[in-house]
């Protein structure tokens, strides 16, 4: 049965028989296949053409699979290509080593065609989904940057809302497909294992060839490990579905009047969208987000525009940490963003506090921070409209207030005050 999600797959194996079996199965399924008989040949091929996925044998002469994968992940041009190891090694140390060097999965020899096709299909879909998402974000961000000088907040909110809603919509179809097929796949596996059990009950004395094959494929290990692999796939689908839900929550369209909304949902969706910037990388340590939510009622608001305010304040806090990492005195300080919400004693207002322990601002900057076109960022990195629009949304659209308090060298806190009812 051919797949509707074709891609180019590079198979790296020094055994011709393995190459023939896998390439034929993948070709019959509709994939384009390239082959290499060693790690060295694979690396040379990748200089000319990048595949969408690599099936990589572990035990090869010369550069083995582990070393080949390490080189792939160290090269910016190939580091994002998913690698699935093919190996007869079933010990835990070998598997852990494979994941540590950057593989996304492994297939145990001898190959089971349906297993190979299922894993290839799943990881291709996840990879293509990620690439498509990144491309759309890049294209839409470029469009937004071209229109940054527009001074009408509603138009800016609408553009961003359409962007995120479109991305969420594109995610839903492949995720629905994956989520809908994983459970049937597990059911099929259980049916097959049940059939094997029945055969063993009816014919307990198997011949030598069948016994040898069962030992070769390690049937008991497969029986134990397959459900775990399916569980991992389910978890991956769940994580992407959570991102999709957050995108839809963040981009919810505003009506022409305020409607009851949960402020915490908006904050959480914004944090999810910015999650990639909170993780540690070569330029900064992990940024910890500490939430201290109070018991809030739903408030009447324009949720999409308030979410943009949260996005702006959290992005600015992350940017402040990026700047602080350039100074030696801040590099060893744990980066934290504290988000707190509470209801006023008279139950008529809510307070949202977003505080960081970054470099902070002096008094002069604090006095100008909400002014139109004022920015502390380098030329080309900001228009100065972000906090000005944030203030306009809070004050003019929601009849609330936004204030800033900062201590140079100790961090910055923004406090948003919003009425419960408009």
Residue 292 is encoded by which pair of tokens? 């201290």
Q: Phi and psi for 151 in degrees, rounded to 5?
A: -100, 0
CB 23 within 8 Å of CB 117: no
Give the E-state strand segments of 88-233 in sequence order: 105-108
Dist. CA 150–CA 144, nearest whole Å:
10
Give the C-alpha separation, 171 to 136, whole Å: 11
Which pLDDT value is given to residue 376?
Answer: 60
C-alpha to C-alpha distance for 226 and 222, rounded to whole angstroms = 6
Single out the residue of 392, 327, 333, 332 nearest to residue 357, CA to CA: 333
Under CATH, which number does the domain 254-419 receive?
Answer: 3.30.565.10
Q: How many CA atoms lie within 13 A of 129 on its CB side?
A: 23
Helix (H, G, I), strand (E, B) or coil at 261: strand
> Which pLDDT score is estimated for 195?
87
Write the pLDDT tens digit of every residue in 374-400.
666 554 444 335 788 888 889 888 999
pLDDT < 70 positions in the chain: 1-6, 142-169, 246-256, 325-332, 372-385
Residue with tokens 């995610």: 171
| Distance of alpha carbon 304 from alpha carbon 28, whole angstroms | 47
Q: Tell me which fold the domain 8-114 belongs to.
A: Rossmann fold (3.40.50)
Domain ranges of the chain: 8-114, 147-249, 254-419
The per-residue pLDDT for 270 is 86
Q: Identify the pLDDT of residue 163.
A: 64
The model's pTM: 0.48
Residue 181, exposed/middle/buried by CB under 10 A (0-12, 13-18, 19+)?
middle
pLDDT at 1: 43
CA-nearest of 96, 97, 119, 124 to 107 is 119
């Amino acid at each position: 049965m051919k797949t509707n999600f074709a891609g180019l797959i590079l198979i790296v194996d020094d055994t011709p028989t393995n190459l023939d079996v896998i390439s034929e199965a993948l070709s019959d399924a509709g994939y384009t296949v390239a082959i290499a008989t060693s790690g060295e040949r694979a690396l040379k091929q990748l200089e000319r053409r990048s595949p969408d996925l690599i099936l990589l044998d572990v035990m090869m002469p010369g550069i083995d699979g582990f070393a080949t994968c390490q080189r792939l992940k160290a090269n910016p041009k190939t580091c994002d290509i998913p690698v699935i190891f093919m190996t007869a090694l079933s010990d835990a140390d070998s598997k852990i080593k494979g994941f540590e060097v950057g593989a996304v999965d492994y297939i145990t020899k001898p190959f089971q065609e349906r297993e190979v096709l299922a894993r290839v299909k799943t990881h291709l879909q996840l990879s293509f989904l990620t690439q498509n998402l990144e491309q759309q974000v890049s294209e839409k961000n470029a469009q937004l940057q071209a229109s940054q000088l527009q001074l009408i907040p509603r138009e800016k909110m609408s553009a961003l809302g359409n962007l995120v809603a479109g991305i969420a919509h594109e995610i839903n179809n492949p995720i629905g497909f994956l989520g809908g097929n994983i459970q049937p796949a597990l059911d099929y596996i259980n049916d097959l294992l049940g059939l094997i059990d029945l055969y063993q009950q009816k014919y307990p004395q198997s011949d030598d060839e069948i016994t040898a094959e069962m030992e070769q494929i390690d049937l008991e290990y497969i029986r134990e490990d397959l459900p775990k692999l399916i569980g991992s796939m389910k978890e991956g689908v769940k994580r992407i579905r959570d991102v999709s839900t957050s995108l839809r929550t963040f981009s919810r369209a505003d009506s022409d009047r305020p409607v009851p909304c949960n402020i915490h949902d908006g904050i959480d969706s914004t944090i999810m969208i910015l999650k990639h910037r909170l993780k540690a990388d070569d330029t900064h340590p992990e940024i910890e987000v500490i939430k201290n939510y109070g018991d809030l009622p739903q408030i009447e608001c324009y949720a999409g525009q308030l979410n943009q305010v949260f996005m702006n304040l959290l992005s600015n806090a992350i940017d402040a940490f990026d700047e602080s990492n350039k100074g030696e005195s801040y590099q060893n300080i744990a980066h934290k963003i504290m988000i707190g919400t509470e209801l006023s004693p008279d139950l008529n207002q809510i307070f949202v506090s977003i505080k960081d322990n970054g470099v902070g601002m002096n008094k002069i900057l604090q006095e100008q921070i909400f002014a139109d076109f004022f920015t502390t960022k380098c030329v080309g990195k900001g228009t100065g409209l972000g906090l000005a629009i944030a203030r306009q949304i809070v004050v003019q659209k929601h009849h609330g207030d936004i204030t800033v308090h900062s201590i140079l060298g100790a961090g910055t806190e923004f406090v948003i005050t919003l009425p419960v009812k408009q």
